A and B are shown apart, each in its own frame.
Chain A
Amino acid sequence: MNEIVSIQLDGNELKVELGRTILDVCREAGVDLPVMCYLEGLSVVGACRLCVVEIEGSPRLFPACTTPVAANQAIRTQTEKLKRYRRMIVELFFAERNHVCAVCVANNACELQDLARRVGMDHVRFPYLFPECGVDASHPHAVLDHNRCILCTRCVRVCDEVEGAHTWDVMGRGHASRVIADFNEPWGSSTTCTSCGKCVQVCPTGALWPKAASMGNLRKEPGKIGELVAKRKLNA
């Protein structure tokens, strides 16, 4: 057991164990921070920046998922500035690829769509990029649609860390980055993919979806990964 220290979370005094992250502590205290790249059971990358918080005494914002608690931290999670930034982040997700909820298999079962309503996004203020994005339907069971990918890399991490196959990775830089199978081959001809389907389950949008699903009956169970990891004691 680590040392116990005091912190302030949105004005409330808390005793917490050193070595834990701010996100962990928030969740335990019932403070609901929005997340996209974070998924229980997977390594933490701090990529999406949705869980940013303010720490008194520092001008910069900290991703709660990667920042450990420290003694006497005064953390704010719901300031106007944070809300403004979170909405901007969500708008940038929508502007970067072609997210057309109306014709998406994940309509009404999408973490990005839910997040948009949660941060009060009524429109996107940034110019849409409208990139040309491919759709890889070569796998017998599932489809990868780059139009809907937000590069959270949950699929990459679950494939590597839980399944152990490391079929997925990311190629390119910035907004030209794309998730690829093996050495950028059609997913269906991947020699490493075990067709376990974990990537599909953890994908927060309609970027990875089972061919058996149609709009209205898609259900994903990203929570299963945390359970699986706990049972296998992978992160012990």
Chain B
Amino acid sequence: MRKKLATVWLGGCSGCHMSFLDLDERLLEIAQWADVVKSPVVDQKEFPEVDVVLVEGAVVNAEHEEEIVLMRRRSRVLVAFGDCAVTANVPSMRNAWPKEVVLRRSYLEVPGTVEGRVPTEEVAALIDRVRPLHELVKVDFFLPGCPPSADLIYYVLTELLHDRVPVLDEARLKFG
């Protein structure tokens, strides 16, 4: 049976998606097993029901908080895709300070800023603390790496799309 695959980009740098694109010709193989129904490269607004979703990035703002819950409800297998999703990684480096301090520093106090303004419209409101996915929803599979290599993504997707459980042994498991 053909599967439905989604890839999502929350609070991350898109490096994991770049690594996903590095699958190169193996993307055609993936396309034989699954339709990519929702992704930054697919024009689909609503998150549909899927078999597998790769979620890149940490939960950084109020929109992400809602999205991750919705994605969980509509996905059979939810993968924390890359270090930001697994550990909160670089985005979490602001967590030692209240968000007001971070926003002030970023938009008002950074040298070279003239008449800076903290944005309040159009952009999603930051939450107090950047969080890894598993603090909010049940994660079925953790795929660390910054980013995970294309080979690793290929291995994990191949297993999941064939209803097998991937195994990250010592050679495959690595943060950073």
Does B36 touch A at the CB level, under 8 Å? no
With A102-B83, A122-B168, A123-B134 in contact, is A113–B89 under 8 Å at CB? no
Does A133 touch B at the CB level, under 8 Å? yes
Does A108 touch B at the CB level, under 8 Å? yes
A100–B89 contact, CB under 8 A? yes
Q: Of B48-56, B115-123, B138-146, B157-165, which stretch is located at the interface?
A: B138-146
A101–B88 contact, CB under 8 A? no
Within 8 A of A (CB), among B56-94: 80, 83, 86-90, 92-93
A116–B96 contact, CB under 8 A? no
Complex alpha-carbon distance, A31 and B171, angstroms: 20
A123–B144 contact, CB under 8 A? yes
Within 8 A of B (CB), among A102-121: 102-104, 107-108, 113, 116-118, 120-121
Shortest CB-to-CB span from A120 to chain B, Å, is 7
With A102-B146, A130-B129 in contact, is A117–B174 under 8 Å at CB? yes
Complex alpha-carbon distance, A196 and B173, angstroms: 35
Instruction: Report the tally of A-B residue pairs with Cβ distances under 8 A.
Output: 68
A102–B89 contact, CB under 8 A? yes
A102–B174 contact, CB under 8 A? no
**Of the residues B83, B96, B132, contact of A101 by C-beta under 8 Å:** B83
B139–A123 contact, CB under 8 A? yes
B90–A113 contact, CB under 8 A? no
A98–B135 contact, CB under 8 A? no
Does B175 touch A at the CB level, under 8 Å? yes
Shortest CB-to-CB span from B137 to chain A, Å, is 13
Specify the main secondary structure of chain A where it touches its partner: loop
Shortest CB-to-CB span from B86 to chain A, Å, is 5
B92–A130 contact, CB under 8 A? yes
Complex alpha-carbon distance, A125 and B95, angstroms: 18
B80–A117 contact, CB under 8 A? no
Complex alpha-carbon distance, A101 and B88, angstroms: 11
A131–B86 contact, CB under 8 A? no
Q: How many residues of B contact A (CB 8 A)?
A: 26
Does B111 touch A at the CB level, under 8 Å? no
B170–A101 contact, CB under 8 A? no
Looking at chain A, what size class is its interface with the partner chain? 20 to 34
Complex alpha-carbon distance, A121 and B96, angstroms: 24
B88–A108 contact, CB under 8 A? no
Within 8 A of A (CB), among B91-109: 92-93, 95-97
Does B176 touch A at the CB level, under 8 Å? yes
With A104-B176, A113-B175, A130-B129 in contact, is A124–B95 under 8 Å at CB? no
B135–A127 contact, CB under 8 A? yes
Complex interface: chain B residues within 8 A of A113 (CB): 174-176
Shortest CB-to-CB span from B126 to chain A, Å, is 15
Complex alpha-carbon distance, A111 and B132, angstroms: 24
B90–A102 contact, CB under 8 A? yes
A101–B135 contact, CB under 8 A? no
With A98-B96, A101-B146, A127-B135 in contact, is A122–B83 under 8 Å at CB? no
B90–A100 contact, CB under 8 A? yes
A131–B96 contact, CB under 8 A? yes
The 6 closest A-B pairs by CB, nearest first: A101-B176, A102-B146, A130-B95, A132-B96, A122-B142, A101-B175
9 more A-B residue pairs beyond the given contacts A104-B176, A117-B173, with a C-beta to C-beta distance below 8 A: A101-B146, A101-B176, A113-B176, A116-B173, A122-B86, A123-B139, A127-B135, A132-B97, A133-B96
Which A residues form the contact surface with B (CB < 8 A)? 94, 98, 100-104, 107-108, 113, 116-118, 120-125, 127-128, 130-133
Which B residues form the contact surface with A (CB < 8 A)? 80, 83, 86-90, 92-93, 95-97, 129, 132, 134-135, 139, 142, 144, 146, 168, 170, 173-176
